[in-house]
């Protein structure tokens, strides 16, 4: 799994690079098997697959679906999906459809907090306008000097309890997993360490995810600490999940990069075992 990266983004969602440039960057940093997993849509996959083939690296068709579980947002990565499958495509179209209204509400909330005119401005940061999201607002807030970094934009404005955050209903967890299974893919719960759940709630989430058809748990990812690699590796073992590894790369100089991800460590088999590659 050391040369495997099963989670990253292009400008088809909230990454900065075109899909072909994401693949070139990953290959240059030693990735030999890559999944592109843009949020809630599949537009970048054909271009990425073509570039991977030209470069001679392995490619997995992926997606990262925004889901709502007990009122919290969780992300479900789908790996090895068929992008032409209609249930998944229709479900993703529904998930995308609420983004614009949510962004308008975020802009009103930011205006009330003294930062006007952010909707059109954030939209200009989104190469794919249907995918307007918090990252595009974060980049706008950096560009006008309100904050020094996207991370600061999230800390001060874009997370629950802060002005600029608007609660949103995404796909139900069960739906997201079902769509991935319909499309012949493997469902992986992304970055479980980011959800700020109690041990009991996390246990419930993993149980419901598995009951819905979930197969994998992201163990090694850039937002996890080394302790979390071990904690989620052990949970993967306890629940019978296969382990996944992915940088969650979005943009050069913005958070994680491909080459910086630590080696794979988990007491269970890797999700690549379940992918036909
Ligand atoms: P959205 O789908 O519009 O809610 O945006 C979610 C995206 O925001 C995630 O996929 C990350 O790219 C980004 N994000 C969420 N939380 C943070 C954070 N604390 N720091 C930086 N980026 C974040
Ligand atoms: Mn993102
Ligand atoms: Mn995510
Ligand atoms: Mn991601």
Range name among 118-127, 137-146, 198-207, 261-270 with the lowest pLDDT average: 261-270
Q: Per the domain annotation, does 164 fall within a domain?
A: no
What is residue 74's predicted lDDT score, i.e. its pLDDT?
98
264 and 215 together in one domain: yes
What is residue 274's predicted lDDT score, i.e. its pLDDT?
96
38 and 92 together in one domain: yes
Q: How far apart are CA 230 and CA 6, in angstroms?
A: 19
**Best probe residue, ligand 1, of 118, 154, 166 (max atoms within 8 Å of C-beta):** 154
Give the end-to-end CA distance of the chain in Å, rounded to a whole number: 13
79 and 184 together in one domain: yes
80 and 122 together in one domain: no
What is residue 265's predicted lDDT score, i.e. its pLDDT?
83
Q: Is the CB of 13 under 6 A from ligand 1?
A: no
139 and 189 together in one domain: no
Query: Residue 75 C-alpha to ligand 3 middle, in angstroms?
Result: 5
What residue owns the CA closest to ligand 1's atom 17? 154
Which one of the ligands is nearest to 40 CA?
A: 1
What is residue 133's predicted lDDT score, i.e. its pLDDT?
98
What is residue 72's predicted lDDT score, i.e. its pLDDT?
96
- Bridge pairing between strands 4-5 and 33-36: parallel
Query: Residue 75 C-alpha to ligand 4 middle, in angstroms?
Result: 8
Q: Is the dihedral of CA 225, 226, 231, 232 positive or negative?
A: positive
Three-class DSSP category at 52: helix
Q: State the CATH number of the domain containing residue 108.
A: 1.10.150.650
Residue 14 has, within 13 A of its CA and on its CB side, a CA count of 22
Question: Structure pTM?
Answer: 0.98
Three-class DSSP category at 4: strand
Q: How far apart are CA 112 and CA 133, in angstroms?
A: 19
CA angle 227, 228, 232 (to 5 degrees): 130
In tens, the pLDDT along 237-248 reads: 999 999 999 999
In tens, the pLDDT along 50-67 reads: 999 999 999 999 999 999
Q: How far apart are CA 242 and CA 168, in angstroms?
A: 30
Residue with tokens 């693949």: 23
195 and 131 together in one domain: no
- Bridge pairing between strands 242-246 and 72-79: unpaired
Residue length of the chain: 277
Cβ–Cβ under 8 Å, residues 169 and 66:
no
- Average per-residue pLDDT for the chain: 97
The mean pLDDT value for 124-128 works out to 97
In tens, the pLDDT along 170-208 reads: 999 999 999 999 999 999 999 999 999 999 999 999 999
CA angle 74, 258, 77 (to 5 degrees): 25
Q: Per the domain annotation, does 103 fall within a domain?
A: yes
Q: Per the domain annotation, does 182 fall within a domain?
A: yes
Domain count for the chain, please give it. 2
Asked whether residue 277 carries a pLDDT value surpassing 80, the answer given is no
Q: How confident is the model at residue 271 (pLDDT cuts 50, 70, 90)?
A: very high
Residue with tokens 């019978």: 240
153 and 89 together in one domain: no
Asked whether residue 88 carries a pLDDT value surpassing 90, the answer given is yes
81 and 175 together in one domain: yes
Asked whether residue 276 carries a pLDDT value surpassing 80, the answer given is no
202 and 224 together in one domain: yes
118 and 152 together in one domain: yes
Tell me which residue range forms the domain holding 217: 4-96+169-274
What is residue 2's predicted lDDT score, i.e. its pLDDT?
79
């Amino acid at each position: 799994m050391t040369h495997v990266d099963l989670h990253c983004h292009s400008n088809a969602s909230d990454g900065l690079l075109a899909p072909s440039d994401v693949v070139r960057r990953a290959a240059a940093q030693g990735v030999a098997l890559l999944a592109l997993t843009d949020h809630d849509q599949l537009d970048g996959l054909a271009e990425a697959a073509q570039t991977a083939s030209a470069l001679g690296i392995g490619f997995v068709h992926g997606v990262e679906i925004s889901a709502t579980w007990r009122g919290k947002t969780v992300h479900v990565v789908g790996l090895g999906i068929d992008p032409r499958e209609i249930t998944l495509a229709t479900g993703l179209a529904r998930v995308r459809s609420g983004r614009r209204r949510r962004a308008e509400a975020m802009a009103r909330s930011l205006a009330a907090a003294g930062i006007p005119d952010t909707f059109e401005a954030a939209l200009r940061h989104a190469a794919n306008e249907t995918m307007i999201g918090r990252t595009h607002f974060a980049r706008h807030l950096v560009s006008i000097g309100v904050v020094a970094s996207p991370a600061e934009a999230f800390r001060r404005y874009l997370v629950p309890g802060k002005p600029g955050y608007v609660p949103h209903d995404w796909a139900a967890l069960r739906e997201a997993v079902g769509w991935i299974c319909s499309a012949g893919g493997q469902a992986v719960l992304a970055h479980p360490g980011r959800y700020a759940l109690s041990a009991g709630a996390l246990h419930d989430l993993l149980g419901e995810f598995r009951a819905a058809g979930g197969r994998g748990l992201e163990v090694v990812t850039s937002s996890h600490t080394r302790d979390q690699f071990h904690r989620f590796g052990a949970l993967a073992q306890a629940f019978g999940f296969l382990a996944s590894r992915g940088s969650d790369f979005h943009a050069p100089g913005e958070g994680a990069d491909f080459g910086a991800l630590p080696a794979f460590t988990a007491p269970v088999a890797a999700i690549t075992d379940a992918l036909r590659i």
